[in-house]
Amino acid sequence: LSMASRTVITVQPQFSVAQQPGEWQTGLLDCCSDCGVCFCGMFCFLCLNCQVAGDMDECCLFGSSVAMRTLYRTKYNIPGSILGDFCSTCLCRPCALCQLKRDINRRREMGIF
């Protein structure tokens, strides 16, 4: 075997999967789009908190946390920042939690949760 007959691969093929940017299924203040979630968030916040945490296989204590919102947003490639997540959860925790639950419900209906 001569050196001329050997093929040397110097560059490996690369596959790039560009994930499309996502978006929230509803806005932060779209409470009327799912009144059941809204009422649960307003009158039984801890129940909704535990539902969201359970949906995401996390501890019930963290359903409405900045980390949970950031984790969810990152998983579905929803634009934003940790600072934005912090502001949403601090300024209106029930609204942020309701938005997260509505989004989970809608993605579950679409079969992408």
Is 21 domain-assigned?
A: no
Is 74 domain-assigned?
A: yes
Is 6 domain-assigned?
A: no
Is 77 domain-assigned?
A: yes
Is 79 domain-assigned?
A: yes
- Residue 64 pLDDT: 87
Which amino acid is located at 75 in the chain?
K
Q: What tokens were used for 15?
A: 């596959």
How many structural domains does the chain have? 1
Q: C-alpha distances in angstroms, 29 versus 25, 39, 63, 92, 102?
A: 12, 13, 18, 9, 11
Splitting the chain (113 residues) into consecutive groups of 10 residues, what average pLDDT does each group show?
62 55 92 93 94 93 90 96 96 95 96 90
Model pTM score: 0.80
- Residue 107 pLDDT: 96
Residues spanned by the domain of 49: 35-110
Contact 9, 24 (CB under 8 A): no
Is 28 domain-assigned?
A: no
- Residue 16 pLDDT: 45
Is 91 domain-assigned?
A: yes
* Cα 51 from Cα 92, distance rounded (Å): 18
Is 97 domain-assigned?
A: yes
